[in-house]
A and B are shown apart, each in its own frame.
Chain A
Amino acid sequence: MSSLRFVQAKPFVVLGVVVLAWLLLPVVVKSFLRAGFAEFQAPIAVTASYARDLQTYWAERAHSRNELIEAGRDLAHVYAGYEFQAQQTDELRQEVSRLEQLLRLPSNPNYRLEPARVVRRDLSGWWQQLVIRKGSNYGIVPGAPVVFSGGVVGRIREVHATTAVVDLLSSSRVRLAANIEEDTRPVSYQGGDNRSLSPARGLVDFVPPDIVTYSSNPRRLVTSSLGGVFPAGLTIGYITRLETSPDGMFKNGDVALDPRLSELTEVTVLVPLNAE
């Protein structure tokens, strides 16, 4: 009778042992298991990403020569414009450096640009993350800012051997100091308002009460130099709605994020030079 009872209870005893073992397991072992299983699965995601690239390559090969010539001509125009801007940027950098020396100011942090392909987009109601195809093999470090042509993408959370995980700006885990364009007072930005079948939105807090915004003319929200890792002035999104907070001292509201955030295929990691 008692052996029959034990047989019936055996699965629950096993479950209890597993739960207890997990709770008592040192954090180092848990971290090792997590890293090990992540590395074990990384080649699957990376292979799928290379297969997608190959698919794109063959799809693009179907373009006619005339289309390629036209695209090349358009690119040459864009390239000429960027070359001029690059010269101006160099001059401005020298000017900034001269002023820093003159005024004995601490210099701004410098970054190395590391472009990376997106291996996997993982955008749920719980978390919003991207996996990119570069990791510690390219000197990427946790906390490094990630950007694209539309502004901020997010920041690196985890770094593996050949991949890295980016917490997207729309994730509720991303909170950063920001500025409203043409206003130096800091506000707080947090992601997390991700609705179904629509682009992600963020939330802005501690907005000074004199700031107003209109849906027809939204105010641009940019990164602040107080934010730590992000260079100042990068676009976060546009404030579409503001309302007075319950305490009446500040305003809070919604931030429309770039809809391209959920369809990114390539991003740039700003690797801090002093971290290398």
Chain B
Amino acid sequence: MHRRWLIPFAAMVLLWSLVAQLNHSLAPHGVYLFAAGLLPVFAALRLSLRHGFTATLLAGLAAEATEPFRLPGTLLLLLAAVHILLYHLRYRFPRDQTIFCVAAALIANLAVFLGVSTVELAGHPAPGAAWLRLFADLAWSQLLVLVVAPWFFALQERALVLARVDLFAESHR
């Protein structure tokens, strides 16, 4: 399969849409979930740079198109940086183990969340109250990532296997 970035990209769009639906339902309760940091983790740890990075960039563009970032490209560049960092470090860790992937997803989500918050809160009229809200949202989001990450990794892995992608060869490129 030549366009193997299509599978992780489709999975990322699916996750982004599901979280958006969850946020729609949670909006009346003043809770917001953010799982963008989870998007590039599998692609960075298990796919080649070419296919994984393409999927991450496309997912970054898709995610950014639905949100009003003050600085265009914030999420795209944060996801790209997380992807490259994870890709660079992946040979040093047992990346086939789900528990390591989940830990990486939690750290990635924390980094992306704080990055977005720093950019978005510049010029906010009530930054103190906003940070309190953001820390609460971060706690809920990390809980979501912890629950959803194993399913999300398994989904991508199974889809790639069904598409007859050699994951072993792919992860050593």
Q: How far is the CA of A121 from the CA of B66 in the complex (A)?
A: 12
Within 8 Å CB of A44, what residues of B?
Answer: 13, 17
A38 at the interface (CB under 8 A from B): yes
Within 8 Å CB of B94, what residues of A?
Answer: none
Interface size, chain B (Cβ < 8 Å):
47
Task: Tell me the A130-189 residues at the B interface (CB within 8 Å).
Answer: 131, 157-158, 165, 167, 172-173
Task: Evaluate contact between B126 and A120: CB separation under 8 angstroms.
Answer: no
Residues of B within 8 A of A (CB): 13, 17, 20-21, 23-24, 27-32, 34, 49, 53, 57, 61-62, 64-68, 72-73, 76-77, 80-81, 84, 87-88, 116-117, 120-121, 123-126, 129-130, 132-134, 136-137
Residue of A nearest to B133 (CB): A125
Main secondary structure of the interface of B (DSSP, over half): helix
Within 8 Å by CB of B133, from A11, A34, A127, A196, lies A196
Q: How far is the CA of A41 from the CA of B15 in the complex (A)?
A: 12
- A15-23, A78-86, A88-96, A242-250: which lies at the interface: A15-23
Write the nearest CB–CB distance from A257 to chain B, whole angstroms.
12
Task: Evaluate contact between B23 and A122: CB separation under 8 angstroms.
Answer: yes
Within 8 Å CB of B67, what residues of A?
Answer: 122, 127
Within 8 Å CB of B134, what residues of A?
Answer: 125-126
User: Do A22 and B30 contact each other (CB < 8 Å), given the known contacts A41-B17, A122-B67, A173-B68?
Assistant: no
Task: Evaluate contact between A262 and B30: CB separation under 8 angstroms.
Answer: yes
Write the nearest CB–CB distance from B72 to chain A, whole angstroms.
6
Task: Evaluate contact between B77 and A120: CB separation under 8 angstroms.
Answer: no
Task: Evaluate contact between B133 and A194: CB separation under 8 angstroms.
Answer: yes
